[in-house]
Amino acid sequence: MLGRLKGNPMAVAGGAMVLFMLVVSILAPVIAPYNPYTIDPNAVLQPPSLHHLLGTDHLGRDLLSRMIYGAQVSLKVGFVSVGIATVVGCVIGAVAGFYGGWVDAVLMRLVDIMLCFPTFFLVLAVLAVVEPSIWNIMAVIGVTSWMGIARLVRAEFLSLKEREFVMAAKVLGIPPRRIIFRHMLPNAMAPVLVAATLGVAGAILTESALSFLGIGVQPPTPSWGSILAVGKDYIQVAWWLSVFPGFAILVAVLGYNLLGEGIRDALDPKLKGEG
């Protein structure tokens, strides 16, 4: 799989974008040229220059520093929310696929009901009730985006439970919980890996949209979406406040999508016989 992944130039490009973002977010305290929270009244809305490579915002804060720290927020939201969605989706999909019958019917109807609601508007509705914060955003995105993973895991379990090793485990009297989580779930993780990678891109985009609307990560915490929200008010005089964070969101989402598609191609059974 790694060999096929390395041979896919688009996947390599996506992986390079993702790796670059990870390094930048981890090293943010080291590479950020300024404190992202420091206000400088003498440097308000300065264009890109040698002192401020990406310019400054309406409060004189260095845009490059705020975007570097904003990468931490975006990746944190992406990873944690997708982790929550993966855990919930794997548990529900595994139970539905393993037991079948009325258990499967009830859980899949729950999935169908959740899919009837547009995810973004469901997130908006929940955040209208709870206090907007980075932790609430992670939780809300996670618990409203597990349905696709549940369906993938259920489909894998319906196939796996007819395999010989599962039937042998049942004959030996191994408890169902151990069969599900020790024997079957590890064999069903390939499509989950793809869905999780693509899900990070969706979570980053959702967080940016929520912050742009003012109900996501709250100021003064830097976020690409909140920087864009400020940029729209000054777009005629400070183009850099819209262009640079918008480009960062584009690169992040594109990187995870390319990597996810590359992993999907590498795991495709039709390709396993090649090379």
Query: For residue 89, how far is the Cα from the chain centroid?
Result: 15
Number of other residues whose CB lies within 10 A of the CB of residue 200: 25
> Residues near 247 by Cβ (< 8 Å), separated by ≥ 6?
none
- Position 125 scores a pLDDT of 81
Q: Does the pLDDT value for residue 271 go beyond 70?
A: no
Give the pLDDT mean for 96-117: 89
pLDDT band (50, 70, 90) for residue 219: confident
Give the pLDDT mean for 74-88: 91
Domain segments of the chain as ranges? 79-271
- Position 10 scores a pLDDT of 87
Percent of the chain scoring above 70 in pLDDT: 97
Residue 265 dihedral angles phi and psi, to the nearest 5°: -65, -40
Q: Does the pLDDT value for residue 92 go beyond 90?
A: yes
- Position 274 scores a pLDDT of 45
More confident residue, 31 or 218: 31
Q: Does the pLDDT value for residue 272 go beyond 50?
A: no
Identify the CA nearest to 34 among candidates 20, 51, 11: 51
CA separation for the pair 259, 251 (Å, rounded): 12
- The 3-class SS string of 80-142 reads HHHHHHHHHHHHHHHHHHHHCHHHHHHHHHHHHHHHHCCHHHHHHHHHCCCCCCHHHHHHHHH
- Position 126 scores a pLDDT of 80
Q: Does the pLDDT value for residue 68 go beyond 90?
A: yes
- Position 153 scores a pLDDT of 92
Q: Does the pLDDT value for residue 273 go beyond 60?
A: no
Most confident of 20-34, 111-125, 204-218: 20-34
Q: Look up residue 47 and give its amino acid.
A: P
CB of 137 closer than 8 Å to CB of 209: no
- Position 268 scores a pLDDT of 67
Give the pLDDT mean for 182-211: 88
- Position 144 scores a pLDDT of 86
CATH class of 79-271: mainly alpha
